[in-house]
């Protein structure tokens, strides 16, 4: 053996003794995801959960089913952590009861509802307590309690107090069910996992140019001719089931019927009100500026045709009866000039010195007051006032009755919206689009015919590269804002657009990246010292993935199992590019 080799071995042995943790000692207390705002557990230990354990709570149409659901889960899960927590089990007493109290039992599930709770599991009594301001806060506390239970026979962390509340009131996931269809069971599984991650808004982007899967009693022809078929439709009963399931899980359902763009699927039922329908989206040889749609699937509503508003108002009215939430998403993104310019009626308007922005204003002036008249808060994509070519004068969408959702421009567009006084939902494509990084779905795309050595950059995906959980976790949605502007940021949504997603990949595309998002909006991405805590989050997220999978959610792994079983050993303290 050479002197150098011997020296290296001696150095490694010293490191293994004094720096690297021995494998047999590796273990961690059980954790809660998202990390609570305050978690006091001075001496981590556990007590057995009684075989007759029960949860008592006030009667409530949605809290009671949640209590029953969590009780069944806790009694039957027999959860096996990836690493068995190395904490003492005290067997002198068992936890017999969790007593739930709610101070405002009648509080409705709505934006801004109080979701705070305090969970106490003593080490010297047989009963724990969960106090919450509202039933919805109690549901958050029940989820936290369920994550403190593991093993067979079951045991629960004891001698602890959790005091918890969210940083942001709006924490959501957008799912596009038009480009590819998702069955109701897929939607329910998504909502259930959202609740487990303390997310509280399911933004249901129901229709688009590709299909109109929602069966409406007032406009049945839209789904009959615009859906992919009778087995790929959502009935009124399906919607009620989704909404009710959301209520039982503390998740609001906000519907979006996108318009006036993205409406090609309406054309078979109403060809007279849809411009540029069924045309090739980007004519051969034409510059990008002359495209007819943002992607394959053309069709915009024609705001100059009176019948347009008969159909639109029927839809909006019925949507407000199906979806009780006070937010109504009016869409209004990606209005493409080429589509409206291809329509003879709009051509006449332009020939008379009219503009396309005026056409959009006509549409908004005819629909926004109707939304408001139905006691709804209107939500629009940022394009409606920020688009470079077609936009309305902000005066017709006052901040007092309008919420904006931003998806372009990262923090710059967030700044533009809040500085204009708009309450804003952040869905930056640079950080929160879960479909990005899988390439483009158009065929015959020359972007992929490149010589070796070509730098892929975005890999053919307009919003590439792939948005990793670390990128999502570390994004601060109030970056660059002053204190007044920060207060106008309601929260955010991650989005899964479905050009290249369907039920087969739903879980893995969303989880655990949406879990990272959930924690960053619930308790933040920084520790008590103000430092980013993604390193700390890695081991906790590994364990949370394991628990989600045990509950039937097919979340993808974030590390090899070796890393999971050797916490910290897969970290790096040097930059990797």
Active site residues: 334
Could you give the angle at the alpha carbon of 469 between the alpha carbons of 466 and 471, nearest 5°? 70
Both tokens of residue 414? 């967030």
Query: How far is Cα 573 from Cα 563, in angstroms, rounded to an integer?
Result: 16
Q: How many Å apart are CA 488 and CA 382, to the nearest integer?
A: 15
Helix, strand, coil percentages for the chain (3-state, nearest 5) = 35, 20, 45
Please name which of 391, 467, 456, 473 lies closest in space to residue 429, comparing C-alpha atoms: 467
The pair phi, psi for residue 269, each rounded to 5°, is -80, -40
Q: Are 490 and 168 in contact (CB under 8 A)?
A: yes
Q: How far apart are CA 529 and CA 348, in angstroms?
A: 63
Looking up tokens 């980013």 gives: 532
CB under 8 Å to 1, separation ≥6 — which residues? Answer: none
Instruction: Please choose, from the candidates 217, 216, 232, the residue with its C-alpha nearest in 3D space to the C-alpha of residue 177.
Output: 232
Rg (CA), the chain: 26
Residues near 304 by beta carbon (within 8 Å), at least 6 away in sequence: 345, 346, 349, 359, 362
Tell me the β-bridge partners of 46. Answer: 89, 157
In 3D, which of 193, 183, 283, 275 has the Cα closest to residue 234? Answer: 183
DSSP annotation of 401 reads: G
Residue pair 130/144 in contact by the 8 Å Cβ criterion: no
> What are the distances in angstroms from CA 326 to CA 255, 302, 367, 543, 552?
10, 27, 16, 36, 32
> Among residues 334, 326, 477, 480, which one has the least CA distance to residue 403?
326
CB under 8 Å to 249, separation ≥6 — which residues?
A: 66, 139, 191, 192, 194, 195
């Amino acid at each position: 053996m050479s002197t150098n080799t011997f020296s290296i071995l001696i150095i490694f042995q010293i490191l293994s003794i004094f720096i690297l943790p021995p494998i047999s000692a590796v273990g961690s207390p059980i954790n809660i995801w998202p990390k609570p705002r305050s978690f006091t557990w001075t001496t981590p230990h556990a007590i057995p959960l009684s075989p007759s354990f029960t949860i008592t709570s006030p009667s409530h149409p949605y809290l009671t089913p949640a209590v029953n659901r969590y009780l069944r889960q806790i009694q039957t899960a027999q959860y096996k952590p990836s690493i068995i927590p190395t904490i003492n089990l005290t067997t002198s007493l068992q936890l017999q009861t969790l007593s739930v109290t709610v101070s405002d039992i009648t509080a409705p599930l709505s934006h801004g509802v109080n979701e705070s709770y305090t969970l106490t599991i003593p080490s010297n009594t047989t009963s724990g307590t969960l106090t919450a301001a509202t039933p919805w806060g109690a549901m958050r506390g029940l989820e936290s309690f369920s994550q403190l239970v593991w093993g067979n026979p079951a045991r629960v962390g004891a001698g602890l107090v959790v005091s918890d509340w969210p940083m942001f009131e709006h924490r959501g996931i957008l799912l596009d069910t038009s480009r590819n269809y998702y069955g109701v069971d897929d939607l329910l599984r998504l909502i259930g996992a959202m609740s487990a991650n303390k997310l509280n808004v399911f933004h249901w982007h129901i229709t688009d140019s590709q299909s109109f899967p929602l069966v409406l009693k007032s406009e049945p022809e839209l789904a009959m001719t615009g859906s992919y078929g009778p087995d790929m439709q959502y009935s009124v009963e399906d919607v009620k089931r989704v909404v009710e399931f959301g209520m039982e899980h503390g998740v609001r359902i906000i519907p979006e019927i996108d318009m006036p763009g993205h409406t090609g699927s309406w054309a078979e039922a109403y060809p007279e009100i849809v411009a540029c329908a069924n045309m090739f989206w980007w004519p051969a040889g034409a510059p990008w500026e002359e495209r007819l749609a943002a992607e394959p699937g053309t069709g915009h509503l024609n705001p100059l045709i009176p019948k347009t508003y008969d159909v639109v108002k029927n839809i909006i009215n019925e949507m407000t009866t199906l979806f009780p939430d006070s937010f109504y998403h009016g869409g209004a993104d990606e209005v493409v000039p080429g589509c409206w310019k291809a329509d003879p009626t709009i051509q006449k308007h332009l020939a008379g010195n009219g503009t396309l922005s005026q056409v959009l204003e006509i549409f908004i002036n005819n629909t926004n007051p109707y939304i408001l008249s139905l006691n709804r808060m209107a939500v629009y994509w940022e394009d409606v006032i920020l688009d470079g070519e077609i936009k309305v004068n902000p005066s017709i969408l006052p901040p007092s009755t309008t919420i904006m959702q931003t998806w372009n421009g990262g923090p710059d567009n967030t700044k533009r919206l809040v500085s204009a006084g708009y309450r804003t939902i952040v869905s930056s494509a640079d950080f929160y689009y879960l479909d990005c990084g899988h390439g483009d779905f158009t065929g015959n795309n020359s972007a992929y015919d490149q010589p070796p050595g070509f730098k892929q950059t975005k890999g053919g995906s307009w919003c590439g590269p792939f948005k990793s959980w670390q990128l999502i976790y570390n994004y601060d949605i109030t970056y660059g804002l002053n204190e007044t502007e920060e207060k106008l940021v309601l929260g955010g949504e991650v989005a899964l657009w479905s050009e290249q997603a369907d039920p087969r990949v739903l879980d893995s595309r969303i989880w655990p990246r949406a879990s990272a998002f959930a924690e960053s909006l619930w308790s933040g991405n920084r520790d008590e010292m103000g430092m980013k805590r993604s390193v700390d989050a890695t081991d906790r997220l590994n364990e949370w993935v394991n628990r989600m999978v045990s509950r039937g959610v097919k979340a993808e792994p974030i590390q090899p199992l070796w890393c999971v079983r050797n916490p910290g050993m897969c970290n790096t303290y040097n930059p990797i590019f």
